[in-house]
């Protein structure tokens, strides 16, 4: 897995909490830094794609492993 600067465990949280928590965490990071997000909400896959498209923060990676979803987002 690529390296990251911060990690957010949004396991067990449902829509729209993973997005809101991610937004909050990203707000405290600087441009170019990478956030690793762990989620269990299957809806978060599409939601993080949409979040990335609309906010300009790049979704570098999105994958599923053992019922969990992992995302890497680079702050714009």
Partner 1 sequence: MSNKKLAIIATKGTLDWGYPPFILSSTAAALGYEVQIFFTFYGLQLLKKNINVKVSPLGNPGMPMPMGMDKWFPVIGTAIPGMESIMTMMMKSKMKKKGVASLEELRSMCTELEVKMIACQMTVDLFDLKTSDFIDGLEYGGAATFFEFAGESDICLFI
Exactly one of 15, 20, 50, 76 is catalytic; which is it?
A: 15
For residue 68, which of 37, 46, 47 has the smallest C-alpha distance? 37
Examine residue 60 and tell whether it contacts partner 1 (CB under 8 A): no
Q: C-beta of 17: minimal distance to partner 1 in Å?
A: 5
Q: Is 48 a catalytic residue?
A: no
Reported for 46-50, long-range contacts at CB under 8 A and 24+ positions apart, including other chains, are: 47/15, 47/16, 47/18, 47/19, 48/18, 48/19, 48/22, 48/73
Q: Of 5, 23, 64, 68, which one interacts with partner 1 (CB under 8 A)?
A: 23
Residues binding partner 1 (CB under 8 A): 12-17, 19-20, 23-24, 40-41, 51, 54-56
Kindly list the catalytic residues.
15
């Amino acid at each position: 897995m690529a390296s990251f600067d911060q990690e957010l465990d949004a396991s067990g949280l449902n829509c729209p909490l993973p997005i809101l928590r991610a937004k909050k965490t990203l707000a405290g990071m600087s441009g170019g830094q990478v956030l690793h997000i762990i989620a269990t909400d299957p809806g978060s896959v599409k939601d993080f794609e949409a979040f990335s498209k609309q906010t300009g923060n790049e979704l570098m990676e999105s994958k599923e492993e053992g019922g969990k979803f992992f995302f890497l987002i680079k702050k714009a």
